[in-house]
A and B are shown apart, each in its own frame.
Chain A
């Protein structure tokens, strides 16, 4: 009970460190989700509607990457961004952009694979009907996306959920630097190890609240309008 009282005190007292951690977490998760959606959705639409050589192989690679362990993604980005790595000159290691890059590597295959699956389920019927009334290719693609809107919201949510709950990759490339790259999940890990359960529980409650708000907003977006 003491732990919960302390957690609520931190939450309602709007603790400065807690606010800072929340800000870094949201900045990182929203940025990485946005970038992954910008890359993954068009790629998923292309894979879900197109018929070209190598499509099946690309899909197999995407499906394999959907299960990429976060620490492996973190390790790849770490090696790329470390001083001796090919992108070391950018000096991004242990910064929020490095964490965003790691999460984009992790989330983009998920967004691509899920988009491709939902599009390939709807596309044949939509494309046949659209061709029958003489609609252009670009208008047809837009229609497919519009018809997949509720599922698309779920895809974005899945990506965001993965981003905000991720620990391994961001710990590796972010370094969990206080006031700089410390996010909710890495803080929960750290504070739990230190036996400081108050802040850990407060962050856990916040994570659940964010998930609830995001789901409520998504539910609104998923409502069909005639």
Chain B
């Protein structure tokens, strides 16, 4: 179980995140939804350790590498795609190239292993970065719109790879997405943020079918038009 208590973050006098309490159940997949600027990326970046909160406590996996974070615009390093993936493994990891090729295979990129990782398209970079994320077992995956730049085929590959990886490792997933369809396909639970606050949290089907919160209802109305 992972917990956040009294987490807050302020930017230039504006409170962008205020979460009194949140519990993430192990092995569960959460969709993180909300309008632009609602605090989704801020929450993920704080959980990943990229941003420091102004206040609050977090109980997350402590071992190095147990938390994986895929930013909205992942970086492709100036080295081969294969090396871009193996760099996520420690030097003592057994057969790193084999593991990297298997991870690349899951996102349909094994034939691009020798290409330069800094010269890929946006969608290819996202798929490579996703392979870098799943090349080793992790306890928590934090994904910030992991398929925002991929084409339909790439999207399907990443979604299938995520489901397979979660089945194998039993990791917890927290995924920000703007696609309700994707959220419904991949996630069992949903967290809805409005102006930095969690206004709805629970089973995704229940929240999508019978939303009680007015902000969530308004958000969903845009999708149903």
Q: A-side interface residues toward B, CB under 8 Å?
A: 125-129, 131-135, 143, 146-147, 149, 224-226
A133 and B79 form a contact (CB under 8 A): no
C-alpha spacing A127/B48, complex, angstroms: 12
* Contact of A131 with B133 at beta-carbon distance under 8 Å, contacts A146-B78, A224-B116, A226-B79 already known: no
Is B13 close to A, CB under 8 A?
Answer: no
Q: Mark B191-217, 1 if CB is under 8 A from A, else 0.
A: 000000000000000000000000000
Q: Which chain A residues lie closer than 8 Å to B132 at the CB level?
A: 133
Is B157 close to A, CB under 8 A?
Answer: no
Q: Would you give 25 A-B contacts (Cβ < 8 Å), ordered by A?
A: A125-B71, A126-B77, A128-B45, A129-B74, A131-B49, A131-B50, A131-B69, A132-B68, A132-B70, A132-B71, A132-B74, A133-B69, A133-B87, A133-B132, A134-B65, A135-B87, A143-B77, A149-B78, A224-B78, A224-B116, A226-B78, A226-B80, A226-B114, A226-B116, A226-B117
Distance in angstroms from A136 CB to nearest chain B CB is: 8
C-alpha spacing A149/B118, complex, angstroms: 14
Distance in angstroms from B142 CB to nearest chain A CB is: 8
Q: Which chain B residues lie closer than 8 Å to A147 at the CB level?
A: 77-78
A148: nearest chain-B partner, CB-CB: B78
Q: Which chain A residues lie closer than 8 Å to B75 at the CB level?
A: 125-126, 128-129
A132 and B116 form a contact (CB under 8 A): no
Distance in angstroms from B196 CB to nearest chain A CB is: 20
C-alpha spacing A151/B75, complex, angstroms: 18
Q: Which chain A residues lie closer than 8 Å to B45 at the CB level?
A: 128
Is B178 close to A, CB under 8 A?
Answer: no
* Contact-residue size bin, chain B (C-beta under 8 Å from the other chain): 20 to 34
A136: nearest chain-B partner, CB-CB: B64
Is B88 close to A, CB under 8 A?
Answer: yes
CB-CB contacts below 8 Å: B122-147 with A: 129, 132-133, 142
C-alpha spacing A149/B115, complex, angstroms: 19
A132 and B48 form a contact (CB under 8 A): yes
B65 and A133 form a contact (CB under 8 A): yes
Q: Which chain A residues lie closer than 8 Å to B69 at the CB level?
A: 128, 131-133
C-alpha spacing A189/B69, complex, angstroms: 60
A129 and B68 form a contact (CB under 8 A): no
Q: Which chain A residues lie closer than 8 Å to B65 at the CB level?
A: 133-134
Is B73 close to A, CB under 8 A?
Answer: yes
Is B187 close to A, CB under 8 A?
Answer: no
C-alpha spacing A133/B67, complex, angstroms: 8
C-alpha spacing A196/B27, complex, angstroms: 84
B71: nearest chain-A partner, CB-CB: A128
Q: Which chain A residues lie closer than 8 Å to B117 at the CB level?
A: 226
Distance in angstroms from A223 CB to nearest chain B CB is: 11
Q: Which chain A residues lie closer than 8 Å to B73 at the CB level?
A: 125
Q: Which chain A residues lie closer than 8 Å to B48 at the CB level?
A: 131-132
C-alpha spacing A135/B132, complex, angstroms: 12
* Contact of A133 with B50 at beta-carbon distance under 8 Å, contacts A128-B71, A226-B80, A226-B114 already known: no
B71 and A129 form a contact (CB under 8 A): yes
C-alpha spacing A209/B83, complex, angstroms: 39
| Residue of B77, B78, B79, B88 touching A134 (CB-CB under 8 A) | B88
CB-CB contacts below 8 Å: B31-77 with A: 45, 48-50, 64-71, 73-75, 77
